């Protein structure tokens, strides 16, 4: 009997073959996937890394330390005593910190400094520019010390600090400008005798004036003999004095020098010497 299925694959065998082929293809696909290289923007990557570092540093870096710079007086100024002048400073970074202000005077011989506190706890208001000046009445301090004319430096410190400070670069002057600008009085002449007898009185009149028309005062004359200043009643007698007129007598013979002096309201004076021979 002939085999009617010769040349054909039986159905069960065909199913088995199909399963093998499909399974093998799946295996190859899974194990031979193409490895894709991702596109990366290098600049963006760098920025991200910088940001990551910055974020990690938050709370680690200390805040910037404030520093102070004295702006005025910074040296060379001439401030009139009792006038009002502005002491100026700057603080970096700009803030509303309080400051202590000192006036320092250096001893020219020892170099030691005397410090006067001229403005403690000066507060800069939040609505006032930090460069606002502290209005100082020149020559005054908190302790009512006797601050005289002379050369000084100003030192500004952040309140409570003795190291976070800045001082004038060079010295400035506290001056009495009225005194400095005042002209001393003058004596143009003295009218009186140049010779007297022992016991005889002589009268001298002083011709004086003040170039600024200030009131002047005539002091009592000073009498000198043999290089010594004599006292009234001992070597000479002052018989009369009124303003610019003086009357003297001498009980002993000799050559006497008489110093006549005038003084203005600022204490500036002028001397005029005359000589009288007593015999």
* pLDDT, tens digit, 9 for 90 and up, residues 4-53: 445 455 555 555 455 544 555 444 444 444 454 444 444 444 444 444 45
For 134, residues 6+ apart whose C-beta sits below 8 A from its C-beta are 86, 87, 88, 101, 119, 122
Asked if 67-179 and 186-278 have one fold, the answer is yes
Q: Which residue has the higher pLDDT, 14 or 140?
A: 140
Q: In the prediction, which pLDDT does 146 show?
A: 83
Q: Which CATH class is domain 186-278?
A: mainly beta
Query: 67-179 falls under which CATH superfamily?
Result: Immunoglobulins (2.60.40.10)
Domain coordinates in residue numbering, the chain: 67-179, 186-278
Q: In the prediction, which pLDDT does 144 show?
A: 82
In 10 A of CB 110, how many CB atoms? 7
pLDDT in tens, 201-237: 999 999 999 999 999 999 999 999 998 999 988 899 9
With 0.95 as the threshold, say if the pTM is over it: no
Query: Can you spell out the DSSP letters for the chain?
Result: ---TTTTS--HHHHHHHHHHHHHHHHHHHHHS---PPPP--HHHHHHHHHHHHHHHHTTTSPPPPPEEEEEES-SS-EEETTSEEEEEEEEES-----EEEEEEEE-TTT--EEEEEEEEEEPPPTTS-TTPPEEEETT--TT---PPSEEEEEEEEETT-SSSEEE-SS-EEEE-HHHHHPPPPEEEEEES-SEE-TT-EEEEEEEEE-TT---EEEPPPEEEETTEEPEETBEEEEEEEETTEEEEE-SS-EEEEEEEEEEETTS-EEEEEEEEEE-
Nearest-angstrom CA–CA distance, 198 and 45: 116
């Amino acid at each position: 009997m002939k085999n009617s299925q010769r040349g054909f694959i039986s159905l069960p065998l065909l199913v088995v073959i199909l399963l093998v082929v499909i399974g093998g293809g799946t295996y190859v696909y899974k194990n031979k996937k193409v490895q894709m290289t991702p596109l990366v923007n290098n600049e963006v990557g760098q920025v991200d890394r910088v940001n990551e570092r910055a974020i990690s540093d938050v709370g680690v870096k200390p805040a910037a330390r404030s520093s102070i710079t004295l702006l005025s007086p910074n040296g060379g100024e001439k401030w009139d005593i009792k006038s009002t002048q502005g002491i100026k400073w700057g603080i970096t970074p700009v803030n509303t910190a309080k400051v202590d202000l000192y006036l320092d005077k250096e001893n020219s011989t020892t170099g030691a400094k005397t410090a006067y506190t001229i403005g403690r706890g000066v507060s800069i208001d939040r609505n006032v520019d930090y460069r606002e000046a502290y209005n100082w009445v020149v020559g005054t301090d908190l302790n009512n010390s006797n601050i005289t004319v002379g050369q000084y430096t100003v030192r500004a410190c952040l309140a409570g600090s003795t190291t976070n400070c800045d001082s004038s670069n060079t010295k400035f002057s506290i001056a009495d400008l009225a005194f400095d600008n005042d002209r001393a009085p003058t004596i143009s002449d003295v009218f009186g005798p140049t010779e007297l007898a022992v016991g005889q009185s002589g009268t001298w009149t002083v011709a004086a004036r003040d170039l600024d028309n200030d009131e002047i005062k005539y002091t009592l004359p000073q009498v000198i003999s043999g290089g010594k200043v004599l006292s009234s009643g001992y070597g000479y007698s002052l018989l009369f004095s009124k303003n610019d007129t003086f009357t003297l007598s001498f009980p002993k013979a000799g050559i006497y020098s008489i110093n006549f002096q005038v003084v203005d309201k600022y204490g500036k004076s002028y001397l005029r010497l005359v000589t009288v021979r007593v015999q």
